[in-house]
Amino acid sequence: MHRLLSAVTARAATLGGQAWACGRRRAHQRAGLPPLGHGWVGGLGLGLGLALGVKLAGELRGATPTQPPAAADPEASPQAEPQEQSLALGSPQSPAPPPSRCFARAIESSRDLLHRIKDEVGAPGIVVGVSVDGKEVWSEGLGYADVENRVPCKPETVMRIASISKSLTMVALAKLWEAGKLDLDIPVQHYVPEFPEKEYEGEKVSVTTRLLISHLSGIRHYEKDMKKVKEEKAYKALKMMKGMMASDQEKEGKSNEKNDLAKAKTEQDNEAKCRNSKPGKKKNDFEQGELYLKEKFENSIESLRLFKNDPLFFKPGSQFLYSTFGYTLLAAIVERASGYKYLDYMQKIFHDLDMLTTVQEENEPVIYNRARFYVYNKKRRLINTPYVDNSYKWAGGGFLSTVGDLLKFGNAMLYGYQVALFKDSNENLLPGYLKPETMIMIWTPVPNTEMSWDKEGKYAMAWGVVEKKQTYGSCRKQRHYVSHTGGAVGASSVLLVLPEELETEAVNNKVPPRGVIVSIICNMQSVGLNSTALKIALEFDKDRSD
């Protein structure tokens, strides 16, 4: 305080003395009096400065002291300006809204898990959203949406959702089916005569909408070599058979000698078949040229020329063959059954579902918060992905969205799935966007299908479904959930729905949707996110139950 008073006094003395002295000299001279000496002026200035200093010190003593700035959060990015968050050199993290107290533990553990996954795969950015019982409780971005310009990921970041687009297309098909405008079980030529009738091994076969939805049509994916695809399928089937036999032997225990010899011979034969039929190295999807098409297609009918004249790889209904091109044909069916262009019909659905940031991916429009997409080259350097045009596969993998919009979509589906259980206890509930019987059909596993992102499940109608299962007491309990993952050039995604295990008599005082929904999007390709989403969903379900 003594130093402060000294400094104030000296400053006041200097300023006050100079100002007063100048004015006094001019007045003195105007009066015709002899000039004033410097000593006289300095004395008056010093006196005036002391008086001002004493007055200011008194005011300071009565004032409330200013609080020092709060200590900075060690994990927060340094700030260049108070109004704008600047980016650190490391990976940024978007400021998350205050979490609900009851989910603080789940948020902390899930954030840590996502950081680990992001670091493990080297993803530039990742965004997560979680809703519980229809309410969004957490959304956050980690890393960068745009590495070059240091733009951090945030909940509003828009990314490619890839094959989750198939689940969106299923809503359009379901609405047309509910309205009686679409028959799922008649040949597709009824709606799209441009798609030629097909034969398999000389036999005329029918491709239907239902088979297309569940990837049982036999239409190829990006791999054009039928021999490679068939070899791979046969090899997987033999491996699965071998695993099932081993499991059966464990359950049955010891058998008589004759049965043991027979099983041993069968096992040897299967192993020999596996060795002989093991396929050569097959290209993955990201090595297929069609994934990087740059050609703009005006409509779904035009894009059929990419595959419509190719032979079927399998007899329709006999084997599961995941096919994005099958959904290109489904887009054409939507157009003919609805009377609208596919994108116009989908935009109406997005409007109804309040998915206002979900759009088809096009290069020309300015799309706010759109991320850039990345891949690592052969030298493990991060590079931008090449330009691609997804107009040939909007229905199967061409939409952009945010985690918030995906949560809305998941909640609308879960509401329709559960609402019938609550009707008796709450007659005022609104109907779901899709009817309960429609949702049950969509989320029922289809025979002869596979769920590549979780071997425990089966594919249903544009969703993968894992059913509730427990084999042993006090051991692993498999929860019922549905999900769909996505993989595109420079992007990975997942939308997972974990419904609450409801009992009919325990729905009083509850309203749908009941359960946990997780959406994750990432601007790096080939990142498996389903198991991460399931772990996060179970964390929130645990806090919700507690």
Q: Which residues are catalytic?
A: 163
Cα separation, 413 vs 484, in Å, equals: 13
For 217, how many CA atoms within 13 A lie in the half-sphere containing its CB?
Answer: 33
* Residue 28 and residue 21 in contact, taking contact as beta carbons nearer than 8 Å: no
* Residue 140 and residue 520 in contact, taking contact as beta carbons nearer than 8 Å: no
* Biggest alpha carbon–alpha carbon distance for the chain: 139
Beta-strand relationship, 159-160 and 125-132: unpaired
Q: What is the DSSP letter of 69?
A: P
* Residue 528 and residue 453 in contact, taking contact as beta carbons nearer than 8 Å: yes
Residue 83 vs residues 245, 262, 355, 368, 513: alpha-carbon distances, Å = 66, 77, 30, 21, 39
The residue behind tokens 């400094």 is 7
Residue 272 vs residues 116, 238, 260, 266: alpha-carbon distances, Å = 41, 10, 18, 10
375 forms beta bridges with 383
- Nearest to 287, CA basis, from 220, 222, 382, 380: 222
Handedness of CA 162, 535, 461, 320 (dihedral sign): positive
Cα separation, 351 vs 411, in Å, equals: 15
- Nearest to 121, CA basis, from 495, 380, 483, 373: 380
Cα separation, 310 vs 308, in Å, equals: 6
3-class DSSP string for 388-416: CCCHHHHHHHCEEECHHHHHHHHHHHHHH
Q: What Rg do the C-alpha atoms of the chain give, in angstroms?
A: 34
The residue behind tokens 């894009």 is 303
3-state secondary structure (DSSP) of residue 79: coil
* Residue 326 and residue 461 in contact, taking contact as beta carbons nearer than 8 Å: no
- Nearest to 170, CA basis, from 512, 482, 532: 482
* Residue 92 and residue 529 in contact, taking contact as beta carbons nearer than 8 Å: no
* Residue 456 and residue 464 in contact, taking contact as beta carbons nearer than 8 Å: no
Q: What are phi and psi of 318, to 5 degrees?
A: -85, -35
* Residue 91 and residue 124 in contact, taking contact as beta carbons nearer than 8 Å: no
* Residue 207 and residue 218 in contact, taking contact as beta carbons nearer than 8 Å: yes
- Nearest to 434, CA basis, from 211, 176, 215: 176
**Which tokens belong to 195?**
């798609």
* Residue 337 and residue 191 in contact, taking contact as beta carbons nearer than 8 Å: yes
